[in-house]
Amino acid sequence: MKSLMLAVVALFWLATTAQAAKFDTRFTYSTIETAHFTIHYHQGLEAAAQKAARLAEEAHEKLTLEFKWQPAEKTQVILIDDSDFTNGLAITIPYNTIYLQVVPPSLASTLGEYDDWMRTLITHEYAHILSADPARGYSKVTRAIFGKPLPWMDPIAVVMFLATAPPNTFMPRWWHEGMATWAETKYTGQGRGKGSYYDMIFRAAVAENNLPGVDQINGDVPFWPAGSLPYIYGYRLQRYIAETYGEDAAGKLTQAHAGRIPYTISAPAKRNFNGNSYRDVYEDMLVALRKEQSARIALLSRKPFTTLSRISDEGENLTYPRFSPDGSRIAFTRRDPHDHASVVVTDATGRHVLASFRRQFSDGSLSWSPDGKRIYFTQAEITRGFDLYQDLYVHDLDHDRTDRLTKGERLGEVQLSPDGKLFAAVQSGTGSQNLVLFESGAGQEKPKPSPVTRYQGERVSAPRWAPDGRMLSYVRTDNYGRSSLMIYDIDRKSESVLISAGNSLAYPAWAPDGAVVYYVSDETGVFNVFAYDLKARKSYQVSHLLTGALQPEPSPDGSRMLIAHYTSHGFRIAAFNLEHSAWSESRGPSLPLTRALPTSPASEPTAPEGATSDTAATQAGTAQSTTVQTATSQTPALLPSTSYTPLKTIAPRFWLPRFYADGEGVAIGAYTAGSDALGYHTYAVSGAYSDGRKRGYGSLIYQNDSFYPTFTLRAHNEPFLYGDLYQTGNDYYELNRGVSVEAAVPLNRLESRYRLRAGYELLDQKALSDVSDDGTFHGVPVFQGRRDNLFAGIDFDDVLKYPYSISSEEGRRVSLLYRRFDKGFGSDINLSEYSATWQEYLHMPIRQSGNQVLYLRLAGAFADGDLQYGQQAFQLGGAPSDLNPYPLRGYPLRSMTGKYVATGTIEYRAPIMYPLSGPGTVPAFAEKLHTALFVDAGQVWGGLRPFAADETRVGAGVELRADLTIGYWAKVTPALGFAHGFNKDGEDQIYFALYLGL
């Protein structure tokens, strides 16, 4: 779950122009009002919205007392069903907003253990709001004056933002996520902190002496569990604080930091922790954690652990092992922080890789065809330009080809029947997951799934076929903390409960003879493999593990079991022998229960039309089985809803002063910005007055994302600086006034993006600096007049990077832009401008030395028509930056100008080291140190400068770069470079550059 409070997130939403609409434009939103929340939801989510409204008010009642804060306004909550993967986002600037994707979370994620998944998400995200929003002391004063501001895009505004934004916004991620995960754990029956998954992570880290330092949860590390570290250890720290310094510590800390200058986090900690800093308390927490988990390890060690053999440990997160039907091969999903996710096929020992193919973001599950020639799997892709949905794919191993079989069906965990005729799958939709079936006939181009179950707001997972293809096993997880291992009879069209329990049951798998159903359970406090004997009607513990395992897979001959075995470095594929004589009816050793048992029974399973639902366990059940009963709680009255309107949230909520030069002093003004809750209408506006020039300035950006394409309106009347124009040593100011309208059509896929854009611009340029009678500024001809133009362009991007990457390392970026200035539609010049940029990233397959990249760049432009003036001439030279599209290192900045420009760069990029450390809780973290060897070449020509091959300038050099996280959130790459120019005007340069998103 992603919960970013940083205002930079909202800034991107407010300032980004000509990008994709935020939500599927087919969604029609409605609104429910409660005392403290405004719930927005689209069609199909009516029941989810009613439930969210009730749960949000319950969370408000508890959490406002916990954090000692009452928001001044209602919190906006947006429910959206645009993804097959659970996520949430909380933003407090410029107003409090929560976004929730309403799909139940998978057990394979850290969110998978819950009593009610929506209650967990709402509690977590609202805890973010209440811990980040408070204002006290100076912050209360600045909020009364300025509101909760966003920064403009200049240094002074950023300083003002730091001085006026809610101070808790700038706390570390581990503080934010620790607070929210602790609150979620305290105020729900389950929560991640009470789950076996978190306990497994802590136990493995202690057993393998792999606990992270406070600087590593403070920064951003690429290794397992990477982005989850602030949640996991932030929670454990907050839990320790509550246990050691009082249950009211969360509220005290929230209020204490709310009146402090950003990044000064030590004083509130020492005041509340008897003089100890956060770093000191974190070290104390690790001592307590080691003691706690060492005792648990000793308890589990009273019985010998199941002997495991290694199958594969190359990679970081290896999951869903599957034997081929003949048992000669093993397939599994591999996720590697150095490389792309893939499906790997090995021999039966795991020692020899026979095949592999790439896989996009997915649930990880796999299914073999009966003949062993194909592997079926699901993976995500962007659907209709907005929605992240999974579909069914097949990979032909003989021809090494992957084909897509469905589109927009939202399928997961697809399994093909033993006879190859029928697929079973989990289908997501409207906040629910259900079992579906569909035929696999070759003549069906787009098979349509038929529902088997119709649960509302619940999770169905892990369907598996019985060996004879007549039954399916799967797991149902309700919203009372109960899991049920279910059986569906294909012929009778009936479902029944095999086992139901107040702990997690998951990943059923049939024995080859169909007499036993294996499954994973954490009833001992550890995810172990169990077996339910259908004839004996008994359940046995099959494995006894120290850490835990998921996704069991028995071999076709029934002799051994594959598992995804957990280590402190991620999941590995392992195997153990299946010896029935070693199975035990008794449980143990067992760890203490850390969560509350279900407080309400599960509801009756909902059968498909014409089907029956058996409430007794299959084949009379077992002593562990429970009868499924209908909940007796009274249905609450429905809250009224209205059509969504942006008017209630679009008004500006803040302002900040703005200062900028115009050549005669400083213009003083202000700016503000706003957006409605759904981001349909976004704007930023500023105004200023210059006493030196006795004139006003202003600007406006408005973006409409309620349609497809996106429409953007820009208007400005502001001074523009051409620093050191033409290397004359003089700064030239002009009054730049214009209005433009642009339409942009994004064509998005998960790993590639196109953007088509076109528009019209009215542009007028007038000198503010003194210009000679001949129209020159210190001898440089400058243009004054109208430059109205039509423009059109296309951008393409399919670059990829991975956690250990030092830059993008696969794919390309291409950008093409055409502008036509014509007297026929108001311009004072006739001119066509063409510009193009091509960037290529080539992964270097030298794994022993880390992620190395060969980077190629070609960029050029030319103007065909009237003479280019000083402001518009293409300029070459200097170091790369966002303001310098045609760099040439080893030559002075903008030292050459003309009507035509062409540049090329080749860089070899290589890592030097991965420090992955920082000074404690200080807001600075060093991730990677790397270098680049480069050669630049370029030339400009046109006008008085004819093209000549020997006029091409060449420079070469080296840069030392470091990837840093500063302010706990912002990722930057400062670089120190040396360049030598080999041709005319070349020089030796030592320079500094700052890259954002290499």
Element (H, E) at 15: helix 7-15
Q: Is the omega angle on the peptide bond into residue 212 within 30 degrees of 0, that is, cis?
A: no
CA distance 751 to 918: 32
Question: What does the chain come to in residues?
Answer: 998
CA distance 435 to 477: 12
* pLDDT at residue 628, as a whole number: 33
Closest CA to 634 of 609, 659, 600: 600
Element (H, E) at 203: helix 196-207
Question: For 102-117, what is the mean pLDDT?
Answer: 90
CA distance 197 to 564: 13
pLDDT(7) > 70: no
Element (H, E) at 689: strand 681-690
**Domains of the chain: residue spans and CATH:** 7-300 (1.10.390.10), 309-620 (2.120.10.30), 798-998 (2.40.160.50)
Confidence band (pLDDT; 50, 70, 90) for 852? Answer: very high
This model's pTM is above 0.85: yes
Cβ atoms within 10 Å, residue 131: 30
How does DSSP classify residue 265? -
At 424-463, the pLDDT tens digits run: 999 999 999 999 999 987 555 677 899 999 999 999 999 9
* pLDDT at residue 320, as a whole number: 98
Which residues contact residue 72 at a Cβ distance below 8 angstroms, ignoring those fewer than 6 apart? none
CA atoms within 13 A on the CB side of 828: 12
CB–CB of 696/689 below 8 Å? yes
* pLDDT at residue 943, as a whole number: 67
Q: Which two tokens stand for residue 832?
A: 């066509």
At 186-208, the pLDDT tens digits run: 999 888 999 999 999 999 999 99
* pLDDT at residue 189, as a whole number: 85
What percentage of residues in the chain have a pLDDT greater than 70? 92
CA distance 580 to 566: 24
Q: Which two tokens stand for residue 23?
A: 């939500």
CA distance 149 to 159: 12
620: left (phi over 0), alpha (psi -120 to 50) or beta: left
Element (H, E) at 128: helix 117-132
How does DSSP classify residue 204? H
Which residues contact residue 64 at a Cβ distance below 8 angstroms, ignoring those fewer than 6 apart? 70, 130
Burial grade of 451 (CB within 10 A; 0-12, 13-18, 19 or more): middle
Rg (alpha carbons) of the chain, rounded to whole number: 31
Q: What dihedral angle (degrees, nearest 10) is formed by the CA atoms of 189, 194, 196, 197? A: 110
CB–CB of 452/436 below 8 Å? yes
Question: For 374-379, what is the mean pLDDT?
Answer: 98
CA distance 418 to 495: 20
At 807-844, the pLDDT tens digits run: 999 999 999 999 999 999 889 999 999 999 999 999 88
Q: What does pLDDT average to over the chain?
A: 90
Question: For 676-704, what is the mean pLDDT?
Answer: 95
At 309-363, the pLDDT tens digits run: 999 999 999 999 999 999 999 999 999 999 999 999 999 999 999 999 999 999 9
Question: For 16-24, what is the mean pLDDT?
Answer: 52
Closest CA to 345 of 372, 380, 317, 309: 372
Comparing 149-163, 392-406, 554-568, the range with the smallest average pLDDT is: 149-163
Closest CA to 544 of 711, 303, 378, 380: 303
Sign (positive or negative) of CA dihedral 121, 127, 129, 132: negative
Instruction: Read off the amino acid at residue 546.
Output: L
Cβ atoms within 10 Å, residue 584: 12
Question: For 22-40, what is the mean pLDDT?
Answer: 94
pLDDT(17) > 70: no
Closest CA to 232 of 250, 216, 254: 216
CA 349 remoteness from chain centre: 36
CA distance 768 to 791: 27
Closest CA to 367 of 411, 315, 429, 336: 411
At 238-247, the pLDDT tens digits run: 999 999 999 9
Which residues contact residue 593 at a Cβ distance below 8 angstroms, ignoring those fewer than 6 apart? 525
What percentage of residues in the chain have a pLDDT greater than 90? 78
Comparing 229-233, 687-691, 878-882, the range with the smallest average pLDDT is: 878-882
CB–CB of 852/910 below 8 Å? yes
* pLDDT at residue 775, as a whole number: 84
SS3 state of residue 184: helix
CA distance 969 to 3: 12
* pLDDT at residue 365, as a whole number: 97
* pLDDT at residue 18, as a whole number: 31
At 875-899, the pLDDT tens digits run: 889 999 888 899 999 999 877 888 8
Confidence band (pLDDT; 50, 70, 90) for 8? Answer: very low
* pLDDT at residue 896, as a whole number: 81
* pLDDT at residue 597, as a whole number: 65
pLDDT(666) > 60: yes
At 715-726, the pLDDT tens digits run: 999 999 887 777
CB–CB of 355/345 below 8 Å? yes
* pLDDT at residue 9, as a whole number: 37
* pLDDT at residue 868, as a whole number: 60
Confidence band (pLDDT; 50, 70, 90) for 774? Answer: confident
Question: For 739-749, what is the mean pLDDT?
Answer: 94
CB–CB of 560/327 below 8 Å? no
* pLDDT at residue 441, as a whole number: 73
Facing residues of 800 across strands?
810
Facing residues of 710 across strands?
744
SS3 content of the chain, % helix, strand, coil (to 5): 20, 40, 40
Which residues contact residue 76 at a Cβ distance below 8 angstroms, ignoring those fewer than 6 apart? 37, 38, 40, 95, 96, 97, 98, 649, 677
* pLDDT at residue 588, as a whole number: 80
Element (H, E) at 100: strand 97-101
How does DSSP classify residue 382? E
Closest CA to 737 of 702, 685, 699, 792: 699
CA distance 261 to 247: 25
At 580-626, the pLDDT tens digits run: 888 988 888 999 877 766 655 544 444 444 444 443 333 333 333 33
Q: Which two tokens stand for residue 585?
A: 């009816």
SS3 state of residue 424: strand
CB–CB of 450/469 below 8 Å? no
DSSP string covering 53-78: HHHHHHHHHHHHHHHT---SSPEEEE
Instruction: Read off the amino acid at residue 505.
Output: L
